[in-house]
Structure 1
Amino acid sequence: MHVPNKAQFYEAMLRDDLSSFIQRTFATVDPGAQYLHNWHVDLIAEYLKACTDRDIKRLIINIPPRYLKSIAVSVAWPAWVLGHAPSSKFLASSYSDKLALKHSVDCRLVVQSAWYRRVFPCVGLVKDQNEKSRFVTTARGHRIATSTGGTATGEGGDFLIVDDPHNPRQAESPTEREKALEWFDQTFYSRLNDKKNGVIVVVMQRLHEKDLSGHLLAQGGWEHVKIPAIAESRTMIDFGRIRKTRSPGELLHPEREGKPEIAKTQTALGTYGFSGQYQQEPVPAEGGMIKKPWVHRYKTPPAHPVRIVQSWDTAYKSAQLNDPSVCTTWAETQLAYYLLEVWRDRVEYPRLKSAVKSLAEKWHPNAILIEDKASGQSLIQELKASTPLPIIAITPEQDKLTRMSAQSAQFEAGKVFIPDSAAWLLDFEKELFTFPLAEHDDQIDSTSQFLGWVSNQQQSYGYSPVKGDGHRFKRQGAW
């Protein structure tokens, strides 16, 4: 009677148990890191095995970032399935070519490893079809990588994987989200070889209520595994071999990310970001992005600010239906930002240029930010050529909603102060607290432009990015 030794027993365990295989995969693709096992890895493995057996054909897994979702779903699972059925075909995608390629290379590294060949000796790769983005087995199975928006022309799969379809920085953009949803509906979904028995797995952190997970859950017919970082209520988990009860407030993996680390993440992301990315409960974006309790008040502005900054959002036209042009003036200290004044009016270009000069003379700013588009382009060129004003051109890189969402944590952290009273305060508050449902968003644009610029300055230079901070420019000659 043959008695298997420890090595043979371990290899048999890797063949039979996907969770153990995931752990071995982790050691292969990230050999310098310490693996800390947790029950959620076992749960994901159980669901993936159910997909392998076609007991589940449509699966969504929502889990916080950096909890082994990609190693489990995009790297280990395809390698494990190919080990059992080398003719299986996988088509896997991520939001960028670079990320999709990394997952593909990691999976190929596993399949070509010595330990994998011992566990699955029947799997071999075709030499002339062994590439970073695509590898083919001798049984004509494959794993092909693509990206959100990619065509994958002529390619198909028995298993389709969507791993993080949205770039977290672009998920707030309606245009970018719609592109991802349309790509999934019109292109990627059609790549199933067998529409009845094919399997699709979507694994991602929630980024918006109308992201791909929200889009698919609204349609129905998807098995949904929701794993928040902090249990919000008593939760019973009973699937496959997993029996787990989470108590309210219980952390997902305290050995890896405990209360201090979670608290830092909450502060960094703000409620809006943390609720989606870590709790898998995206806060609806319709109104109320900035909460009233987050905004502090002041009676007297700081006497010695680090600098004064003016932020301009200029309108295309002066018509009554268009957004007005806006200038917000800010005092920056080492701990907070104080809104000193809001100038807002619908004016033609000559009066707009005069307003920039007069407000600069009033406040003597260290920097004047002007959005480099529409009338702002001419304004920047003329003022730089004819005045000593410290003009800085700002090129907007994302849409309005995304830019303000990125700065919401500044408000929540209590860094933004507005005065107790001012003639312009009521209009500013109305727009701030109802964004993005407000009729106009010009004051929001000016505000997010300032907060984004000053944050970048502090990250790059510390609190003294401007030469001679505290010394504001003096008027030189006629403007």
Structure 2
Amino acid sequence: MTYWPYKEPLGDLCALEQADRYVFTSQYQQQPRALGGDLIKGEWFAYYETPPRIRLRKMYADTAQKTAEHNDYSVFELWGLGEDNRLYLLDLIRGKWLAPELKRRAIAFWNSHKAYDHKTGAPLAQLLVEDKSSGTGLIQDIQADGHIPVKGIPRGTDRLTRIMGVLAYIESGRIVLPKNTPWLSDFIAECEAFTANNTHAHDDQIDPMIDAITDLLARNSDWSGWT
């Protein structure tokens, strides 16, 4: 393919590639990529042993409507925005819990991370929950107690659209996972198995990640220093 710098400056092309690699490889490199099971690659994630100073912490939850074997899990994830402008997955719990136990798990997870060192961390700011089915009930129960700042997350777009909107942040290495944790392999396996046509088994861990990236990175995007 011939490059015409007067038509599209190199800086603009680099910005497009970084913002949406799928469009770029298809349109400019004549290498179309199918939206199959390789949407998210484990190799794109960065990894940490000790996170840097965290300037903002929030929890994100995706709750399952039912607890049968084939149903998704309920998941709570703790994410922190580092001073290096990368997003750190700090902790995660996952299980199949009915309403009373779901509320107990949510409160316990919040309380286990409420304390912080002001020299290295930040207060726990908010719990954000997908506002549908069991999530709506959980939001109402926690709001009634009044001890945890909780907010519902409405779903206005489908999951594929939402994940395509944050994929560049993952591919650029701005999403950082802990190296030594028992749930890491399951988290990566679920990400790598995600398909555009919903033939994957589970996506309960992916939704909170999308919400965290959208909330903490995409809304205040700063690509300076990321090439």
TM-score range relative to shorter protein: 0.7 to 0.9
Give the equivalent residue in structure 1 for 2:207.
445
Aligned-partner SS, 2:180: coil
Q: Which aligned pairs between 1:455-466 and structure 2 lie closer than 5 A?
A: 455-458=217-220
Residue deviations 1:26-56 (CA, integer Å, cap 9, x gap): xxxxxxxxxxxxxxxxxxxxxxxxxxxxxxx
Report the 3-state secondary structure (helix = DSSP H, G, I; strand = E; otherwise coil) of the residue aligned with 1:317: coil
Give the distance between the partners of 1:258 and 1:399, measured in 2 at CA: 34
Match of 1:212 in 2: none
1:297 — aligned with what? 47
CA distance in structure 1 between the aligned counterparts of 2:206 and 2:54, rounded to whole angstroms: 23
Task: Say which of 307, 311, 314 aligns to 2:56.
Answer: 307
Q: Residue 326 of structure 1 contacts residue 343 of structure 1 at CA under 8 Å; is this kept in 2?
A: yes
Residue of structure 1 in register with 2:65 after alignment: 316
Local SS of the residue matching 1:442: coil
SS at match of 1:411: helix
Alignment of 1:124-163 (within 5 A): none
Distance 2:219 2:151 in 1: 12
Structure 1 partner of 2:11: 260
1:416 corresponds to which of 147, 157, 175? 175
Kindly state the Cα deviation for residue 344 of structure 1 after the two structures are TM-superposed. Answer: 0.5
1:349–1:273 distance in 2 versus 1, CA, 3 Å: farther
Deviation at 1:411, TM superposition (A): 0.7
Give, in whole Å, the separation in 1 of the partners of 2:54 and 2:89: 12
- Cα deviation code 1:224-264 (max 9, x no counterpart): xxxxxxx2xxxxxxxxxxxxxxxxxx32x310312222111
Q: What is the 5 A alignment of 1:73-222?
A: none
Structure 1 pair 360/276, CA: closer, same or farther in 2 (3 Å)?
Answer: same
| Distance (whole Å) between structure 2 residues aligned to residue 256 and residue 268 of structure 1 | 19
Name the structure 1 match of 2:131.
372
1:397 deviates by 1.5
User: Which letter does structure 2 place at the counterpart of 1:454?
Assistant: L
Are 1:331 and 1:337, in contact at CA under 8 Å, matched by a contact in 2? yes
Task: Find the residue that maps to 2:217 and give its secondary structure.
Answer: helix
How far is 1:323 from its partner?
0.3
Cα deviation digits, residues 57-84 of structure 1 (max 9, x gap): xxxxxxxxxxxxxxxxxxxxxxxxxxxx
Comparing 285-294 with 305-314, greater Cα deviation is found at: 285-294
CA distance in 2, matches of 1:281, 1:400: 25
Assess, with a 3 A threshold, how the Cα gap between structure 1 residues 280 and 382 changes in structure 2: closer, same or farther. Answer: farther
CA distance in 2, matches of 1:455, 1:280: 30
CA contact (8 A) 2:77 2:93 kept: yes
| Unaligned runs of at least 5 residues, structure 2 | 115-123, 223-227
Q: Deviations over 1:141-182 (max 9, x none)?
A: xxxxxxxxxxxxxxxxxxxxxxxxxxxxxxxxxxxxxxxxxx
Query: What is the Cα-based RMSD across aligned positions, in Å?
Result: 1.8
Q: Which has the larger radius of gyration?
A: 1
1:431 counterpart = 2:180: no
CA drift at 1:438:
3.1
Instruction: Give per-residue Cα distances to partners, 1:396-445, cap 9 Å, x unaligned.
Output: 12111221121110011110011112111111110011212531111111
Structure 2: distance between partners of 1:280 and 1:386? 56
Give SS of 1:366's match: strand
Aligned counterpart for 2:38 among listed residues 275, 288, 291:
288
Q: What residue ranges of structure 1 are gaps of 5+ in the alignment?
A: 1-230, 232-249, 463-479
Count of residues in correspondence between the two structures: 209
1:362 corresponds to: 112
User: 1:314 touches 1:325 (CA, 8 Å); kept in 2?
Assistant: yes
- TM normalised by structure 2 equals 0.85
Corresponding residue for residue 394 of structure 1: 153
Structure 1 position 296, deviation (Å): 0.7
AA at the equivalent of 2:82: T
Query: Which structure is higher in RCO with an 8 Å CA cutoff and minimum separation 6?
Result: 2
Tell me the distance in 2 between the aligned counterparts of 1:272 and 1:310. Answer: 30
Q: What CA distance in whole angstroms lies between the structure 2 residues aligned with 1:256 and 1:392? A: 46
